[in-house]
Structure 1
Amino acid sequence: MRRLTKTILLLSVCYNFTFGQEENKVFTQDQLLWYIENYHPVAQQGRLLIDQGESSIRAARGGFDPKLFANLDQKQFDEKEYYSILNSGLKIPTWYGVEFKTGFEQNRGIYLNPENKVPNGGLWYGGISVSLGQGLFIDKRRAELQKANVFASSTIAEQKVLMNELYFDAIKQYWKWVQTYNEYNVFEESVSLAVTRFEAVKNSYLLGDKPAIDTLEAKIQIQNRELSRNEYKLAYQNATLELSNYLWFVNNTPLEITNELRPPLFDEIVLSIQTSFDTLQTIVDAIPSAHPDMQLYDFKLSSLEIERKLRAEKIKPKLNLNYNFLSEPVGDNFINNFSSQNYKWGLEFSLPIFLREERGNLQLAKYKIQQTQFGQRQKQQEIKNKVLSYFNEHIALREQVEIYKDAVLNYGRLLEGEKIKFDTGESSLFLVNSRESSLIDARLKVIALVSKFNISSTGIDYASGRLF
């Protein structure tokens, strides 16, 4: 029942996909890619990568969220309140390294430290904290947000890399499926021809026109071809199962290719001849900016550059300025009691004498950038050569396909001529079988070449990162 359900699902979706043409039972490459893009688990993982990038930005922005704070410190002993110190407020960090703060202090106690003494109604304060040295142009919070933005952009390229690989693997398996199906059909037809010839030779023997040994040779030919047919049938069945690994539906339901669907026949296959030398040059020129692997290198370099700037900032001295105005609340409004004479300020300064840690970390960051740049150049050259390799294979296979198509026609003419000679008694069954075997081998060869040709055509898009 479970298998029947999966079969019905696949057939119904294929029916809708082919615009309701019930007679169209050919499962095409475009239909395969449609299933992969919409339902394959790897495709869903790719979409999760983008969601992760958005979540990383949201998390990094949390470093700039306003924060409420409150500190309460009390001591009671021997039925006496030694002290009660309350400090609460709000901090608002900003992108520019300035932090705004406002708060309220209310302290009391018989043993309260004099520096914590405030008016009976408490003390309001508000002010800013500014980094004038280290942290003026970049700090850890800003660096993390910049890196998160870079990571979010890189997830799109990572998704392209995943899907590019998945598409190409699926397309290679699709053409293996097409190839084994057409090879099986060749031997299915050859068995029928061998059976027909055996019956004709047997009748000729019974009439006294052919020797008995010809019937034995014809029978052996049937047996040999049946063995080959069974081998190719097994290869086709296994290729069908392997291709089914790429077919999924809603709720992560795996699908299976049934006998109701078939690959295109040899005569139905269209050779995708699209890439010219001019197009190839355009593809190669676009590799540094358009290939997802190169984009990932760019994003990695951007992230490393942010880290380098942060390390360089660490070499500067720390110089932090804090300023708070103070006001005693009276009645409903404490603003009227504001005075420029009531304030609290502080200055913090520090600088390591030798800066060995800071200078070492900065140099390490520069080395990482250089290593990545070397890797980027190497990767770019590898991608370029891979594209050229697929293009050269594409051109060579195009010529071989045309040559072997013509060879199949010539082998067919030789076979027909040999049959005529055999019927007139001027040839032997051995020569007829030999001619037919040569034709079968040529047909198998051209089927394999057509499969390789279409893979090489797709390989150009795959190597250049344009398949997805």
Structure 2
Amino acid sequence: MVSLLIITQLKLQKVMKRLSSLVLLLMLAGLVQFARAQDTLKLSHQEFIAVVKKYHPLAFRYRLQNQIAKAEVQGARGNFDPVLAAKNGLKTINGTEYYKESTVELDIPTWYGISFNGSYNYLEGQKLNNSQTPGGLYQFGITLPLAKNLLYDKRRALLEQARFATQLTEAEQILLTNDLMLEAENTYWELVKAHEVLNLQNKAVKINEDRLSLIKKTYQYGEKAAIDTTEALSQLQSFQVKQKDAYLEFVKANQQLVLFLWQENQQPYDISQLIIPKESLTDNAAYQNYLSLIKEIDDLSLSNHASILMYSSKLNILESERRLKFQSLLPKIDLTYNFLNKENYASNFLPLFQNNYQYGLKLEIPIFLRQARADYRIAKFKIRQNQLDTDYKKQEINTKINSYKYLVVNYNQQISLAFQNTSNYQRLLQAEQTKYNNGESSLFLINARETKLIEVQEKLLELRLKFLRGYNQLKWTKENFRM
């Protein structure tokens, strides 16, 4: 019986040596893995946000869109540019010079639809028409619309619409940039959470390594049963698996963060090291600032939100289109008057319609106006659609803001409860450890308490991350308002 006990004890010692070798191999593998991870970069939240805002290609693209809109305004102004023209012509057949003509003209359009023009024309030849005036002739004239295009015309509409389009683009750029920044900021806090979960698992592994070492020593002294070493090793391996999984999640979070890191010339960073965040989920100013942020947003007017400003700019564009379409309902009556003066002749400007002048009156009236009436009705319907879209957008923004406020307040309350729960589980684990040291508990119960503590700690981190996401939603919603 004694010999059988000795043989059994020797077998257990061999098993324990093998288990110890396995633990050593796992520890060495972990050390190698984390030694590689020591080549890391530390990045603060403020530095990260500054890099994204300044160098991210999407943010740069949105700024370029503003420049495009401003260039379109410049192009629309070109419709009011003065036009200088010159012409020189000659016709001769069988030695007969029909005509020889040189002309210089200047046309000056104005904002109010009136056009001024002036020209100098020199004409000579043997086959001129009776209506043509030989010699040098000066001409100064004006073209005045009396109905259609008097109060509004296509040139004015294009310029106004380009200006409103610039405002629309600026509002859209605000929304798109802030959406990008919100996504980037949430990605950063995802990295922070993954890093803190990894630290939790690293700590758990270290505690269990020390516990296994202690239990092995107490077993060797005959104070603990062999099964306790197996229990300790099993718990250690369980945490090592979770440690590997946490490390993998941390690497994934790094890869997501790197997508937002770009250099000054919009080239991606080639980052081979792991990025370690400087901030933590626990020490964050959001927990103190969220109430004041909610109050600031409550004091803002929805009409100043970038989304509503977009619809307001679109309304201005549609209203400009409606005014232009209304002009098509009016008859086209254009008056043209030109003062004429022969070269080397005395100038007599007055009276205007007595001598040395040319005038014309042109009238156009579509009989049924079907196209004009249809276009005008469509323009009015589009304005109504835009108003409905604006009303819906206001309600949508208001609902989202209320939802974000509720989330932040609710998660803050859950964090308080989860923190207290974590403290309770910490005390339970300490009490169980004390009972175990006094021989009143088992390693199994300690492991159960420890596993539960890690779970509630991870749950607390998840709640903190959700709180910060809601806070970020509110913060970047506030940035969408034009102060």
TM-score, with length taken from structure 2: 0.86
Tell whether the 8 Å contact from 1:164 to 1:467 is kept in structure 2 after alignment.
Answer: no
Aligned residues: 438
Can you list the C-alpha shifts for 1:386-439, whole angstroms capped at 9, x where unaligned? 111111111110001111111111111000000010011100000000000011
Contact 1:69 / 1:90 at 8 angstroms: preserved in 2? yes
How far apart, in 1, do the equivalents of 2:480 and 2:86 lie?
Answer: 56
User: Which of 384, 388, 403 lines up with 2:398 in the alignment?
Assistant: 384
The answer to whether the 8 A contact 1:291-1:466 is kept is yes
Amino acid at match of 1:405: F
CA distance in 2, matches of 1:428, 1:107: 119
Q: Is residue 219 of structure 1 aligned with residue 233 of structure 2?
A: yes
3-state SS of 2:287 partner: coil
- Pick one of 272, 283, 295 that aligns with 1:268: 283
| C-alpha distance after superposition, 1:215-272 (max 9, x if no partner) | 0111111111111101110110110121111112222232338447434245534443
Q: Deviations over 1:24-51 (max 9, x none)?
A: x853322211111211112211221221
- For residues 281 and 305 of structure 1, do their structure 2 counterparts lie closer, same or farther at Cα, with a shift above 3 Å needed? farther
SS in 1 for 2:126: coil
- Name stretches of at least 5 consecutive residues in structure 2 with no aligned partner: 1-40
The match for 1:27 among 37, 40, 43 is: 43
Question: 1:76, 1:82 within 8 Å by CA — same for their partners in 2?
Answer: yes
The answer on whether the counterparts of 1:386 and 1:463 sit within 8 Å (CA) in structure 2 is no
Alignment of 1:216-255 (within 5 A): 216-255=230-269
Instruction: Pick which of 33-42 and 264-273 moved more.
Output: 264-273
In structure 2, how many angstroms separate the alpha carbons of the residues matched to 1:274 and 1:337?
Answer: 79
Residue range with higher mean Cα deviation, 267-276 or 185-194: 267-276
Residue range with higher mean Cα deviation, 415-424 or 26-35: 26-35
Residue aligned with 2:43, SS: coil
Which one-letter code corresponds to 2:283 in the other structure?
A: E
**Whole-Å Cα distance in 1 between the matches of residues 286 and 429 of structure 2?**
27
Whether 2:302 is the aligned partner of 1:311: answer no
Aligned partners of 1:287 and 1:294 also within 8 Å: no
The counterpart of 1:342, out of the listed 342, 348, 356, is 356
- 1:302 is matched with which residue? 316
Say whether residues 1:45 and 2:61 are aligned partners.
yes
What is the CA distance between 1:85 and its match in structure 2?
A: 4.2
Report SS of the residue matched to 1:286.
coil
Task: Provide the secondary structure at the position in 1 that maps to 2:141.
Answer: strand
Q: How does 1:127-206 map to 2 (within 5 A)?
A: 127-206=141-220
SS of the residue 1:274 aligns to: helix
Alpha carbons 2:191, 2:277 under 8 Å: kept: no
Q: What CA deviation, in whole Å up to 9, does each residue of 1:113-166 have, x standing for no partner?
A: 2112x143x110101111111011110001111111111222221210111110
Q: Distance in 2 between matches of 1:407 and 1:379?
A: 41
SS of the aligned residue for 1:105 comes to strand
Query: 1:466 maps to what in 2?
Result: 480
**Aligned-partner residue type, residue 425 of structure 1:** G
Q: Work out whether 1:115 is the aligned partner of 2:131.
A: yes
Instruction: State the secondary structure of the residue aligned to 1:91.
Output: strand
Distance in 2 (CA, whole Å) between partners of 1:435 and 1:335 is: 113
1:284-299 residue pairs with structure 2 within 5 A? Answer: 286-299=300-313
CA gap 1:319/1:114 in 2 versus in 1, 3 angstroms: same
Give the corresponding residue for 1:78.
94
The reply on whether 1:209 has 2:223 as its aligned counterpart is yes
- Rounded to whole Å, the distance in 2 between the matches of 1:257 and 1:466 is 35
Determine the C-alpha separation between the residues in 1 that align with 2:146 and 2:168.
Answer: 33
1:422 matched residue in structure 2: 436
Measure, in 1, the Cα distance between the counterparts of 2:472 and 2:346: 73
- Mean Cα deviation higher: 438-447 or 262-271: 262-271
Residue 386 of structure 2: aligned partner? 372
The structure with more radius of gyration: 2
Distance apart, 1:337 and its partner CA = 6.0
Most deviating of 260-269 and 199-208: 260-269
Distance in 2, Cα, partners of 1:218 & 1:210: 12
The alignment status of 1:434 with 2:442, answered yes or no, reads: no
TM-score normalized with structure 1 length: 0.89
Give, in whole Å, the separation in 1 of the partners of 2:198 and 2:227. Answer: 29
Q: Which amino acid aligns with 1:187?
A: Q
Contact 2:251 2:274 in 1 (8 A): no
Match of 1:90 among 83, 106, 124: 106
| Residue aligned with 2:340, SS | strand
* 2:15 paired residue number: none
Range 260-269 or range 124-133, more displaced:
260-269
Shift of 1:465: 4.9
> Paired residue for 1:56?
72
Amino acid at match of 2:116: F
Counterpart CA distance in 2 for 1:273 and 1:467 is 22
1:110 match: secondary structure: coil
Q: Percent identity?
A: 33
Closer/same/farther in 2, CA of residues 134 and 285 from structure 1, 3 Å limit = farther
Give the distance between the partners of 1:101 and 1:265, measured in 2 at CA.
72
> Structure 1 pair 282/51, CA: closer, same or farther in 2 (3 Å)?
same
Residue 72 of structure 1, CA deviation: 4.2
- How many angstroms apart in 2 are the aligned matches of 1:232 and 1:259? 14
- State the shift of 1:55 in Å: 0.8
Deviations 1:95-119 (A, max 9, x none): 1111110001222332222112x14
2:210 and 2:100 map into 1 onto residues whose CA distance is 109
Worse-matched range after superposition: 167-176 or 70-79: 70-79
Matches within 5 A, 1:346-365: 346-365=360-379
Specify the code of the residue in structure 1 equivalent to 2:109. Answer: P
Contact 2:65–2:169, Cα closer than 8 Å, also in 1: yes
Aligned AA (1:203): K
Displacement of 1:279 in angstroms is 6.1
SS of the residue aligned with 1:47? helix
Letter in 2 for 1:44: F
Could you tell me which residue of structure 1 aligns to residue 17 of structure 2? none
2:123 alignment partner, SS class: strand
Residue pair 1:273, 1:457 contacting (<8 A) in 2 also = no
Q: Distance in 1 between matches of 2:274 and 2:461?
A: 21
User: For residues 54-89 of structure 1, what are the alpha-carbon distances to aligned partners after superposition, in whole Å with 9 as ceiling and x for unaligned?
Assistant: 211111111111101234454322222223344331
CA separation of 1:105 and 1:266: change in aligned 2, threshold 3 A:
closer
- Structure 1 residues 160 and 285: alpha-carbon distance in aligned structure 2, compared to 1, 3 A threshold: same
